[in-house]
A and B are shown apart, each in its own frame.
Chain A
């Protein structure tokens, strides 16, 4: 019996010929990630470990200031400083301060710190994003991250794999985000718990790397341990432009064992919306727009949809127009590099001229931290990944999740709007 893509990567990192779902392994890690929140707790745990004065490899740790920065208050500044001081003390190679990084999951691939076949753990649940490049990547809590900091290895239970095959041509204004919302809706928020998701099919073969980041990113929204794509020529080219480090491109065996195979025909797929208050409460947009759903805030950004490709889609829809006077639109480019690219292309000016507030990169608005927190009774449509009660601020607020195109269309009208309507209207 052959192995899935996830099983192959795990076996190699555990020094084993093969692994089986359910098996507990001790695996070497290629990179350990933390942000200032997960690092603050992890550093405290590491300080309390006997014999743990140094990290296992200063080149294999990435520390990114992104959640409460630029510091929201003195307490947040304290955590940011704690991580910065730790990075200096341990001589960490890959430390990203404000203005030089951005959102961790946008920054790491951009900086060539992720390659196919690698094993990456991070103190953030959306670490699974790196599966887009054919890496095994999973999120963990701070104590596990502290252990990985000093040991360079983690214990893992080998997950069974769910194979999802997408076929068909996506309609105009339908994107990877819609595919993934549809997928989370089908699986349910615990439908892939303790499982790997392996993405297949002609539709995802045609997706850009950005689209694959969006899809791998939201594997956790179905409870999955990781979500992974096979690294094809596009993925290999993306990585080789950013690093000279050698890497191994794995392929699932033809006779790999999958716990479940799901086939999704995308040719008739509409834009999708996750309604309050769970990411699996997903409906086609035609159902959601049967009644007017007015919004107070539109948010564009995050590790799900903060890439240059996403901002270009929004700019194309908003170009030469003004957003509805009823809404505020907040845009957070995913990283400093995305911000600079968007600036050089005129995307930021287009967005600002339309009435959007363009912020510096960061995670703040997505998790209700700062820079776009919702108040009581407010409703938002957002390109982010979660819409639990209180996720973006007040527990009395509502969050709808959608693609950048759907969010941009909604920004023009002040209510949740099908972007295909704009397309038909020649907008």
Chain B
């Protein structure tokens, strides 16, 4: 998560739920690229046609509410979307996104200061969000220390491997 991400913004409202991120009928798919073809289909059927790899989703509060389906962040990542910025995230989606390596940023100010079509740059290491179109910048909420340690360890899988070694 070192390199800065740069892309154009697709903006959505509050309560973007997992049923519209990846409708239930696709939940028997495992392949991330195949899932990615249906990302946001229930909300914006044109999303995958109009987005380009590296684009960024910006949304209001409670992004990812609803089901625990991990295929929701997997579909977003599989579509080539680089990151999601929201005012807040639903609890299970937040964990799932970090676990599968979809960069997420919480910043109400950034959401209010970014419009659809803006080009933005994100630095996952510092949480700095630059709106290149408008020449403004914002700072995302920092991850709590435990989550930061998890991210720095490379995610949950390496963490589990270390715990297993300790327990052995």
On A, residues with C-beta under 8 Å from B are 24, 37-38, 40-41, 44-45, 48-52, 67-68, 72-73, 75-76, 79, 123-125, 127, 139-144, 146-147, 150-151, 153, 155, 157, 189-190, 193-194, 223, 225, 278, 367-370, 373, 386, 388-391, 393, 395
Contacts and interface: CB of A to CB of B under 8 A. Distances in A.
Contacts of B37: none
Contacts of A139: 68, 92
A146 B67 CA distance: 17
Given A139-B92, A223-B62, A373 B25 contact: yes
Given A125-B92, A151-B164, A223-B65, A391 B19 contact: yes
A223 B19 contact: no
Contacts of B165: 51
Contact of B160 (A41, A151, A189): A151
B15 interface: yes
Contacts of A147: 156-157, 159-160
Contacts of B48: none
A144 B99 contact: yes
A225 B93 CA distance: 12
Contacts of B23: 368, 390, 395
Contacts of A37: 27-28, 69, 71
List 6 tightest A-B contacts by C-beta distance, closest first: A141-B96, A141-B70, A367-B24, A143-B99, A390-B42, A190-B62
A143 B24 contact: no
8 contacts: A37-B69, A49-B161, A124-B68, A140-B68, A143-B70, A143-B156, A369-B27, A388-B17
Interface of B: 15, 17, 19-20, 23-25, 27-30, 41-43, 45, 61-62, 65-71, 74, 88, 90-92, 95-96, 99-100, 144, 146, 156-157, 159-161, 163-165, 167-168
Given A44-B30, A150-B164, A386-B19, A391 B62 contact: no
Contact of A389 (B20, B68, B70, B71): B20
A124 B70 CA distance: 10
A218 to B, nearest CB: 12
A213 to B, nearest CB: 18
Nearest to A123: B68
B18 to A, nearest CB: 8
Contacts of A193: 62, 65, 88, 90-91
Contacts, number: 150
Contacts of A225: 91
B70 to A, nearest CB: 4
Contacts of A125: 66-68, 92
A50 B74 CA distance: 22
Given A37-B28, A140-B68, A367-B27, A395 B42 contact: yes
Contact of A45 (B42, B43, B157): B157
Given A190-B62, A368-B19, A395-B20, 14 more contacts: A24-B144, A49-B161, A72-B28, A79-B30, A124-B68, A147-B160, A150-B164, A190-B90, A367-B19, A369-B27, A386-B67, A389-B19, A389-B43, A390-B24
A62 B135 CA distance: 53
B157 A24 contact: no
A141 B27 contact: no
B95 A194 contact: no
A204 B162 CA distance: 44
Given A150-B164, A189-B62, A141 B92 contact: yes
B92 to A, nearest CB: 6
A139 B72 CA distance: 15
Contacts of B24: 367-369, 390-391
A196 B57 CA distance: 29
A94 to B, nearest CB: 20
Contact of B95 (A72, A141, A190, A223): A141
Contacts of A157: 144
A223 B42 CA distance: 20
Contacts of A370: 25
Contacts of B67: 124-125, 367, 386
Contacts of A223: 62, 65, 90-91
Contacts of A189: 15, 62, 65
Given A141-B99, A155-B146, A189-B15, A48 B157 contact: yes
A123 B30 CA distance: 15
B147 to A, nearest CB: 8
